[in-house]
Structure 1
Amino acid sequence: TNLRLLADTSFWVTSNLKWFIIEFVVCAICDIPFLDYENEVNIQTSDSATLYETEQVYSKNLLSLMIFLRVYLILRYLTIQRYTPGLKIFGNWLGVQFNSTFTLKELFHTYPASTLVALYSIAVLGLSYCIYDVEREYNKGIRTYASGVYFTVISGYTVGYGDIFPVTAGGRWVAIIIVVVFTVLNAFMVATLVD
């Protein structure tokens, strides 16, 4: 029976191997030094003679944005910290699973203001860097990190004054991600304030 128990809980038999490979791939993503890769993107500029003119430019920083997938490790760390053997026994007794969703709910219930500030800070700082990284070479409006923060906050709250806007395809995708992330965070904020 001991050999059967050992085989059932083995790293190679359980789903731990799958999660290890996924986590390894996410953590292995990095910019390859001294390699210039080029992705064609279109910039639309208005001209008095023609309504729209398209010129080809190259974005060198799209792979560097994939590094931000590592942010999920923060939630995983919080889950691991809350997952003690005593808590597991208590959870089995009550029929509760202590996973990432439970951890996030518990953090919002116990520390609502701190959790919201932390999530908004991570979102603003991370997404500002993403838009700055993609647009800084091609967009006159986003030449500094501060203008990236301004664009992120204004776009995140769906105000969108129109003074700064993305001109590359990568910038437009980052803008879509900004709006989606802030919509979810605003829903968390409303749910926390109502509760």
Structure 2
Amino acid sequence: IDPWLIDPMFDVCHDINFHERSGEECLATRVGALLARIRDKYAQHSIDHDPFVIVKADAGTYGMGIMTVRDPSEIVGLNRKQRNKMAVIKEGMEVSSVLIQEGVPTFETVDGGVAEPVVYMIDRYVVGGFYRVHAERGRDENLNAPGMHFKPLAFEACCTMPDPGCEPDAPPNRFYAYGVVARLALLAASIELDRGLPLDGHDEAIETGLRG
């Protein structure tokens, strides 16, 4: 398969100071370049969505210092409220470097709200998970915000193997796909640790994308 289907694009922009507006042009340029690459992939795979990126602090966020961007012009000339939101994250840490992550639309819903799956692992084994649900957020927005709630992600079977007798989106196959992505993310993180590379946002769950 095209690796892009499970490995979203990203970029990093250093030397950012939102209070002083320094680095805005560089960030806008990188956002524009990433959006262009995503559009090319959408065209290649006949995906009918408007691409977007998530700009977030490169040091763990706890849901802070995150914004959805659909056009590079949105980065330049942020108002004071927007700059204050992006400038400081948990424990008052100032943001000086940001990740620009390809946005992956959330396609699942639970109880009428947009829902994203979170998979738990112990050692190398997938043991379950939950849905983060937010009824007031859209499919292209960050769900880690006040108003979210959680629902158990009930694995009806062990989901260690797909069920060829079911449709691709049937729960056994969908949960199996989630588990595969989770295990690949764990392998990637272990390789980075083995190479002595820092894990950005190490205090948060490893985030991966899975396209519907």
TM-score, reference length from structure 2? 0.27
TM-score, reference length from structure 1? 0.29
Higher strand share: 2
Query: Larger C-alpha radius of gyration, 1 or 2?
Result: 1
Higher helix share: 1
